[in-house]
């Protein structure tokens, strides 16, 4: 079988806040069509890894490549062209409260494309249908439940038809039933749209439902990278302890 080329390749990444080192010597290949979950205990650097991967924070050193291209040396224009191929679901949905769901989803399409208003309208309606929010198109974020806000945020993340979707704690604040439904939606979108997905979460039930691969962080280092089954059979005490809490 031909070896898959990674869509994201991280080598020797070091992340710092000021003089404090948060992550050290991170080496990961994110493969196409997989859901990779970044996990570990509180304060281990999960969100920091995601933000450095996306250059929301600049890594102190190392290499980050998207589709074989080094992004850390790219100028702003070239990097924004890469970002257009990605989508981001933020932890709180990050919707603008003063405008409707429809208008929230229109923002990236109006900012980054020259599509006609007719095509933009069609794309918004398609994305809302994909996430099961067709009836909420003209509602304000304040009129949505927590789960609906996450779905609306997901529709906006999908607006530009991304190849890679990033999610920061998508299940945070949701009840178990709503969380499970969101996980099923993410799995369905992965299959329908053939996306690569990178998710930060500490929700054990979600990890078991959706993870193809996991990145397990501990005290600023990567303790493990591989499949969930491999992680649970690796005999690493800290990983065993982490999953023991949610053992089925």
Domain ranges of the chain: 1-84+198-248
Among 166, 247, 234, 237, smallest CA distance to 207 is for 247
Nearest 10 degrees: CA dihedral of 107, 108, 111, 115?
-100
The SS3 of residue 155 is: helix
Please give the C-alpha separations between residue 208 and each of 98, 158, 214, 247, in angstroms, as whole numbers.
Answer: 37, 24, 10, 10
Of the CA atoms within 13 Å of residue 167, those in its CB half-sphere come to 33
Q: What are phi and psi of 10, to 5 degrees?
A: -115, 130
Contact status, residue 164 vs residue 85, Cβ threshold 8 Å: yes
CATH superfamily of 1-84+198-248: P-loop containing nucleotide triphosphate hydrolases (3.40.50.300)
Among 168, 139, 169, 171, smallest CA distance to 152 is for 139
Residue-level pLDDT at 175: 87
**Cα 205 from Cα 20, distance rounded (Å):** 32
Per-residue pLDDT of the chain (248 residues; tens, 9 = 90+): 456 899 999 999 999 998 899 999 999 999 999 999 999 888 788 999 999 999 999 999 999 999 999 999 999 999 999 999 999 998 766 788 899 999 999 998 998 889 999 999 999 999 999 899 999 999 999 999 988 998 999 999 999 999 999 999 888 888 889 899 999 999 998 998 899 999 998 888 899 999 999 999 998 899 999 998 999 888 899 998 888 864 43
Q: What is the pTM of this model?
A: 0.90
């Amino acid at each position: 079988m031909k070896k898959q080329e990674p869509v994201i390749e991280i080598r020797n990444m070091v992340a710092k806040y000021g003089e404090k080192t948060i992550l050290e010597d991170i080496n990961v290949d994110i493969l196409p069509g997989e859901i990779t979950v970044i996990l570990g205990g509180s304060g281990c650097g999960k969100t920091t890894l995601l933000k450095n991967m996306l250059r929301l924070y600049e890594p102190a050193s190392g290499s980050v490549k998207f589709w074989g291209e080094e992004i850390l040396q790219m100028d702003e224009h070239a990097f924004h062209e890469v970002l257009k191929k990605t989508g981001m679901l933020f932890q709180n949905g990050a919707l603008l409260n003063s405008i409707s769901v429809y208008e929230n989803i229109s923002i990236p399409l109006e900012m980054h494309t020259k599509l006609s208003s007719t095509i933009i309208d069609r794309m918004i309606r398609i994305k809302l249908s994909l996430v099961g929010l067709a009836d909420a198109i003209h509602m304000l974020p304040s009129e949505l439940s927590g789960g609906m806000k996450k779905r609306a945020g997901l529709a906006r993340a999908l607006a530009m038809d991304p190849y890679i979707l990033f999610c920061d704690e998508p299940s945070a604040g949701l009840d178990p039933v709503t969380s499970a439904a969101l996980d099923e939606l993410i799995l369905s979108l992965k299959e329908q749209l053939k996306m690569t997905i990178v998710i930060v979460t500490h929700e054990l039930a979600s990890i078991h439902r959706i993870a193809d691969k996991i990145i397990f962080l501990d005290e600023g280092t990567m303790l493990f990278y591989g499949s969930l089954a491999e992680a649970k059979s690796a005999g690493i005490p800290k990983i065993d302890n982490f999953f023991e809490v949610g053992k089925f």
